[in-house]
Amino acid sequence: MKLTSLSLIGLGLCLSLASCGKTDKAAAPSAAPAGSAFRPIFNGKDLTGWYGLNPHSVVKLEGEKKAEALKKMREEFANDWKVENGELVNDGHGPYATTEEEFGDIEFLIEYKTVAGADSGIYLRGTPQVQIWDKNQVFDPAKPTRKPHLGSGGLFNNTPDTPGRDPLVVADKPFGEWNSFRIRQIGARTWVWLNDKLVVDGNVMENFWDKTKPLPAKGPIMLQTHGGEIRWRNLKVRDIGADEAKEILAEADAKK
């Protein structure tokens, strides 16, 4: 992948039962409001509703060259992506799986399983990204901002050392097991739970494409490919309305 994510290793053992309980409570995802509904964005049968796009490869192209490149990635999408046992599977190569639909304020559920040495990520509103690492990789001091050992879920394309770029805890499961993300995005604010542990707490996701501008109001969800097989399943989205968004932001700001 072209990008990376991190987080402090073990913040230390809880010093008391009371402090442990407090940590668990803070990490637990809050329930969706009554009457809200998640809807699938992957049908588990075929690639309907998705197309291939690597935005990094076309960002500097214009006119016919850009149109040709976009057309080629759509045509090649099925070469590296397939559906198997209800799972969306990528071989580690090719354009990113991109939703035809664009999303604004949402809550997003997704599960993934990958292999050693691979990395990947989830682009929100077409913007990188919620990072996925092989947390067993050893930290290389020659690449100080690349810290896979700190685990997945951070906003890797944010400015180094800013809140949210590194996950709060290491929450990745061992290889061979499914990991589950719950991602909530309101405006540019992003919350990420990995395997029910809070790893990003309402931090601003920067606009990677132009950091002088805010995150786009809407955009596609994209699943990145990078170097190894990754499987995705149970992709579901719940739209967040204006009233709920306002309430969530007010509650989050009150805790600061």
Average pLDDT value for residue range 209-217 = 95
Q: Cα 186 from chain centroid?
A: 14
User: How far is Cα 218 from Cα 1, in angstroms, rounded to an integer?
Assistant: 23
User: How far is Cα 103 from Cα 105, in angstroms, rounded to an integer?
Assistant: 7
User: How distant, in Å, are the alpha carbons of 5, 25, 70, 161, 242 from that of 106?
Assistant: 22, 23, 27, 26, 11
Q: The domain at 43-254 falls in which architecture? A: Sandwich (2.60)
Residues 6 or more apart whose CB falls under 8 angstroms from that of 172 comprise 133, 135, 151, 152, 179, 194, 195
Beta bridge partners of 15: none
Domain ranges for the chain: 43-254
- The structure tokens 């805790």 sit at 255
Considering only residues 41 and 119, tell me which one the structure prediction assigns the higher pLDDT.
41
Q: What is the pLDDT of residue 31?
A: 53
Residue 15 has pLDDT above 70, yes or no: no
Task: Return the DSSP state at 206.
Answer: P
Percentage of residues of the chain with pLDDT beyond 70: 86
Of the listed ranges 25-34, 55-64, 242-251, the least confidently predicted one is: 25-34
Residue 27 has pLDDT above 80, yes or no: no
Supply the DSSP string of 35-64, one letter for each residue: T---EESS-SSS-TTEEEE-GGGTTT--HH
Residue 10 has pLDDT above 80, yes or no: no
Q: Cα 34 from chain centroid?
A: 25
Beta strands in 115-204 (DSSP E): 120-124, 127-132, 179-186, 189-194, 197-204
The model carries a pTM of: 0.86
